[in-house]
């Protein structure tokens, strides 16, 4: 083994990419789980898998010039990180948010490699996006930006190479504009993006998949303790795609979601959200600059400006907004108040210390790369429908989603069962890693 210790390896990553703190965090979490497995395996050492797995296949950074409604010209940075293609073409979302930078996208792409592996599908890992802020932009400006972004991105993607999807700031509308521009430039109607409209190649249940899949994963975790969702109080952060559909499925299965948030604050509805209230949130949040505080006015509930929802008593907490949105103090507050299930709809929402707290407390803690894998899984199913040109019914896709989430869960149990509790972090990291590492060895030094 080239490195004397785990820390020496981690230091080497930090030294190489000193300004990418979110990437260090994601690498540290994975390496912590896989170190024994990787450093004691002769083949993994011989093929230097550890050094290779933390370096992307390629990183593409480009200029995105576009014009606003007042004819001012702006320039944003566009990115695509093609991280690992050992088990399939690169797959992962595009994020449009002002805080996007290389470190954030590398952490997301790295996580995606293991997440995609866990689904059991043939999907490699990638991620991309831009520091463009869609908030406050007109429809025409968003369309101009999406066209400009695709003017460069189209060279690097393709249905057999790299198939992007949505993420924060990129929903059905943006995917539509980017698909339109790809088709125009390449004169090809192919499944090059997922999350498409269902009239033109999108899969039923894709918009719902991450949120529904998250709740299916929670159900599987609870079954290990012969528990169910009925009557459970649930706090959620976020109010976008993932949070909305997680709420919908929670209500259907008899749980009571009581909070939603955005980057301005959170609402607490002690009577619980209903389907009607979720429909209101979907409509409200279809305008990206709309604030969740409007919910509090409409339904006469408390709004907490600038705060996060983790102080509210609950049985289950589902962070569904963004990275590092739940810290150690908040983790302690949650468990002190009786919360015993935390599952991540967002990617890396819990800080490293918060994760350690959940594991030390032996609660049911499902990390994002397992718990939110439903979205990419159904993107994979969208790709197969595009290839066969045979659309699947809603029921069929929903059943596939349940099956895949059960598979992700059983892989976590296989690699994370510690006897008295299941360490889902170890389970997800080792389960995801082994498949990718073995495939890299099969393919030699490439």
Q: Which parts of this chain interact with ligand NDP (CB under 6 A)?
A: 166-169, 210, 238-242, 262-264, 320-322, 325, 345-347, 372, 375
> Do residues 246 and 320 make contact, with C-beta atoms less than 8 angstroms apart?
yes
Q: What does each C-alpha distance from 173 to 74, 195, 197, 349, 383 come to in angstroms?
A: 21, 10, 9, 25, 19
Question: What angle is formed at CA 115 by the lines to CA 60 and CA 374, rounded to 5 degrees?
Answer: 110
Q: What is the 3-state secondary structure (H, E, C) of 45-106?
A: HHCCHHHHHCCCCEEEEEEEEEECCCCCEEEEEEEEEEEECCCCCEEEEEEECCCCCHHHHH
Cβ closer to ligand NDP: 322 or 386? 322
CB of 48 to ligand NDP, least distance (A): 30
CA 2 – CA 47 distance, rounded (Å): 11
Known catalytic residue at 127: yes
Question: What angle is formed at CA 385 by the lines to CA 380 and CA 390, rounded to 5 degrees?
Answer: 165
CA 355 – CA 352 distance, rounded (Å): 5
CB of 240 to ligand NDP, least distance (A): 2
> Do residues 243 and 345 make contact, with C-beta atoms less than 8 angstroms apart?
yes
CA 262 – CA 239 distance, rounded (Å): 6
> Do residues 69 and 140 make contact, with C-beta atoms less than 8 angstroms apart?
yes
**Strand (E) or helix (H) holding 415:** helix 394-416
Cβ closer to ligand NDP: 24 or 206? 206
Give the E-state strand segments of 147-262 in sequence order.
Answer: 162-165, 233-236, 256-257, 259-262
CB of 347 to ligand NDP, least distance (A): 4
CB of 444 to ligand NDP, least distance (A): 32
Q: List, edge to edge, every strand of the sheet that includes 58-67.
A: 58-67, 73-84, 124-130, 90-96, 162-165
Cβ closer to ligand NDP: 126 or 169? 169
Cβ closer to ligand NDP: 44 or 217? 217
> Do residues 76 and 68 make contact, with C-beta atoms less than 8 angstroms apart?
no
CB of 37 to ligand NDP, least distance (A): 26
Name the pairing type of β-strands 265-268 and 259-262: antiparallel
Where does 119-189 have alpha helices with state H? 139-153, 172-186
Which residue is catalytic, options 115, 127, 137, 256?
A: 127
Cβ closer to ligand NDP: 148 or 281? 281
> Do residues 222 and 231 make contact, with C-beta atoms less than 8 angstroms apart?
no
The crossing angle, in degrees rounded to 10, of helices 102-118 and 424-442 is 90
CB of 309 to ligand NDP, least distance (A): 11
CB of 251 to ligand NDP, least distance (A): 18
CB of 73 to ligand NDP, least distance (A): 25
Cβ closer to ligand NDP: 242 or 267? 242
DSSP per-residue letters across 272-330:
---HHHHHHHHHHTTSTT--THHHHHHHT-EEEET--GGGS--SEEE--S-TT-B-HHH
Cβ closer to ligand NDP: 210 or 386? 210
Cβ closer to ligand NDP: 116 or 181? 116
Nearest position to ligand NDP, beta carbon: 240
Give the E-state strand segments of 97-138 in sequence order.
Answer: 124-130
- Catalytic positions: 127
């Amino acid at each position: 083994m080239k490195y004397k210790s785990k820390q020496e390896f981690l230091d080497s990553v930090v030294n190489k990419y000193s300004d990418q703190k979110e990437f260090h965090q994601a690498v540290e979490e994975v390496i912590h789980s896989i170190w024994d497995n990787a450093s004691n395996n002769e083949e993994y050492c011989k093929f230097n898998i550890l050094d290779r797995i933390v370096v992307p296949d390629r990183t593409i950074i480009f200029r995105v010039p576009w014009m606003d409604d007042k004819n001012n010209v702006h320039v944003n940075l566009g990115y695509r990180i093609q991280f690992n293609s050992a088990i399939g073409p690169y797959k992962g979302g595009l994020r449009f948010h002002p805080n996007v930078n290389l470190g954030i996208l590398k952490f997301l792409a790295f996580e995606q490699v293991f997440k995609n592996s866990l689904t059991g599908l043939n999907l490699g890992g990638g991620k991309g996006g831009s520091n463009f802020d869609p908030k406050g932009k007109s429809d025409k400006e968003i369309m101009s930006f999406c066209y400009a972004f695709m003017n460069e991105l189209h060279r690097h993607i393709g249905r057999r190479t790299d198939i992007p999807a949505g993420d924060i700031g990129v929903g059905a509308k943006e995917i539509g504009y980017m698909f339109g521009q790809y088709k125009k430039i390449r004169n090809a109607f192919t499944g090059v993006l997922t999350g498409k409209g269902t009239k033109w190649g999108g899969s039923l249940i894709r918009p719902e998949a991450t949120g529904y899949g998250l709740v299916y994963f929670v159900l599987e975790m609870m079954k290990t303790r012969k528990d169910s969702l009925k009557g459970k109080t649930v706090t959620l952060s976020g109010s976008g795609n993932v949070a909305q559909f997680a709420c919908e499925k929670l209500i259907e299965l008899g749980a009571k979601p009581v909070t939603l948030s955005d980057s301005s604050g959170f609402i607490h509805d002690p009577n619980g959200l209903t389907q009607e209230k979720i429909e209101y949130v979907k409509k409200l949040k279809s305008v990206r600059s709309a604030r969740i505080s409007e919910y509090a006015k409409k339904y006469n509930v408390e709004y907490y400006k600038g705060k996060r929802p983790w102080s509210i008593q609950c049985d289950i907490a589902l962070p569904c907004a963004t990275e590092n949105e739940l810290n150690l103090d908040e983790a302690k507050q949650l468990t002190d108040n009786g919360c015993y299930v935390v599952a991540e709809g967002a990617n890396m929402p819990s800080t490293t210390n918060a994760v350690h707290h959940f594991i030390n407390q032996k609660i049911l803690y499902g990390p994002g790369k397992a718990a939110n894998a439903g979205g990419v899984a159904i993107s994979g199913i969208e790709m197969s429908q595009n290839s066969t040109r045979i659309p699947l019914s809603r029921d069929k896709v929903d059943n596939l989603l349940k099956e895949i989430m059960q598979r992700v869960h059983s892989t976590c149990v296989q690699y994370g069962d510690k006897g008295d509790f299941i360490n889902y972090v170890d389970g997800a990291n080792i389960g995801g890693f082994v498949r990718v590492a073995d495939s890299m060895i099969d393919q030699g030094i490439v």
